């Protein structure tokens, strides 16, 4: 699943793409990559245990409180992405807006 993602915080915006795949054990593995091709973070969501593990977080986001908020919010967002394919979520406590939309595929046709 390929999605465009925008995470809006009070002082910054992270936008780019999110790539996710579900394996045979019902584990969702994914990565969020910004517009410049820099990986923001990887995640693994265990659907059975309803837990999110963050991996390889970019230094700007690698703070204990940011990891805590991201994990909590992704636990609510990822099930919506699995069932509906898109999600808009607002963390009212911290004022963070998450927008995940399907990436539009471009098909280049060559006419002869």
pLDDT digits (tens, 9 = 90+) for 3-33: 999 999 888 899 999 999 998 888 999 999 9
pLDDT digits (tens, 9 = 90+) for 37-46: 999 999 999 9
Write down the pTM of the prediction.
0.84
Q: Which of 8, 19, 14, 59 is nearest to 35 (CA)?
A: 14
């Amino acid at each position: 699943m390929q999605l465009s993602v925008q995470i809006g915080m009070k002082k910054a915006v992270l936008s780019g793409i999110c790539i996710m795949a579900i394996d045979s054990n019902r584990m969702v593995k994914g990565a969020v990559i910004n517009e410049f091709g820099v990986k923001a973070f990887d995640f693994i969501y265990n659907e059975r245990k309803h837990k999110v593990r963050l991996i390889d977080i970019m230094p700007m986001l690698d703070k204990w409180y940011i990891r805590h908020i991201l994990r909590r919010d992704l636990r609510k967002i990822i099930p919506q992405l699995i069932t509906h394919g898109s999600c808009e979520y607002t963390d009212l406590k911290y004022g963070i807006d998450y927008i995940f939309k399907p990436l539009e595929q471009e098909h280049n046709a060559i006419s002869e």
